[in-house]
Amino acid sequence: MSRRSVNLTGARWVAVAGVAALTIIVVALAALALQRSRGETATQPNPVPSFTLGVTTPTPTPTSEAPSPASATSRADERFLATGGAVWWRGVAGECGVTEPLIERSDDGGVTWADVTPRYLGIGQILGLSAFTAADAEMVAAVGPACEVQALRTYTEGQFWEPYPEVLAVSRYVDPADPSVVIFSGEPVPAPCPAPTGLRASGDTAALICDGVARVRTGAEWAALAPSGVAALTLVGSDVLLAHSDAACEGTAVSRVAESDPAGAQLVGCAAGTDPTALAALTTINGDVAVWSGETILVLESVM
C-alpha cells in the first residue's frame, strides 16, 4: 500500500469517529434534557404554607335546634357535706359508669379523712348524703351495673352500708337517668331546669341550683331566690342557706333566705380566702356554718 492510501484511510477513520462521537454527544444531551424535564415536573414545589399564631376558633356547623344551656357545675363533681355530732362526712357525686364517687369520714373536724366508699356494693353515683348520729349516716346512691337507685345506711362508721327500701320510699333526689326530673317520695316532679345540682330537702321544703340561681319548692311551684352566683346550698328548717359570690365579701359569701321572704337574703358571713366560683358544699354545726370550697373547709362560728 502506498503512503497516500494510508493517509486517506486514516482520514476516513477520523471522520467516522468524529461523526460517531457527535452522535453520542447529541444523544446524551437529549437524554439529559429529557431527564431534567421529568425531574422538574416531579419535584414541582408546593405553595408555601401559612400559619396563624394564637388560637383559632373553627366555624361552627349550623344545627336545626339550639343546644340546651350547660349546667354551671358538672353533676359528677357535685359535693356533699354533713355532720353528725363530732363526726363529719363528705362526698363527691361521681357518675355511673364514668367517674367513681367518693365518701369520706372525719373524726377530727376535717383535719384528716378516711375513705369509706362502699365499692363492694358497686356504687356508681351519690345522689344525697346526710348524717344523723356520730357514727351513723345515710345516702341515696345509684348502685350496680343498672345504676339502681337505693337508700343506703351505715351504723358502723362507714365500714358497712346496707340498703333500706323504706328510706328510699320517702327520699328526694334528682333522677340519675333523667336529671330534668326530681323524685319526691317516689313521685316524679319536673325540675325547673334541664340539669339541676345541689338538691337538698328538709320537711316539706326542697331547694336546688339552676345555672347559679337557687330555687326553692314548698308547694307545687319552684321559686327563684335573690342571690346569683350560687355555688352551694343547704336547708335550716324551711330557710335556705346559700354560698355565693358577693361584692361585699372577699371570698365566698354565706346568706340566709327566709321562707317568708324568698326575694330577700341576709348576709351572715364570709369565708375569706375562698373562691366563690369554686366547687363547694356547706352544712351547719350547732349554730356554726362549715364551708367546703376548693381544697379548704372553713367554719364560720356563731353566724346562725
Quote the CA–CA distance of 41 and 44 in Å, as a whole number. 5
For the ranges 8-22, 267-281, 283-297, the lowest mean pLDDT is seen at 8-22
pTM of the model: 0.75
Distances, alpha carbon 236 to alpha carbons 117, 230, 232, 274, 285, in Å: 27, 17, 14, 23, 11
Answer whether 233's CB lies under 8 Å from 240's CB. yes
* CATH class as words, domain 191-304: mainly beta
pLDDT on residue 275: 95
Distances, alpha carbon 183 to alpha carbons 81, 91, 178, in Å: 21, 21, 10
pLDDT on residue 264: 86
Q: Is the pLDDT of residue 87 over 50?
A: yes
pLDDT digits (tens, 9 = 90+) for 263-278: 889 999 999 999 999 9
pLDDT digits (tens, 9 = 90+) for 207-260: 999 999 999 998 889 999 989 999 999 999 999 999 999 999 999 999 999 988
Strand-pair category, 197-202 with 205-210:
antiparallel
Task: Please report which residue ranges of the chain form alpha helices under DSSP H.
Answer: 3-42, 165-168
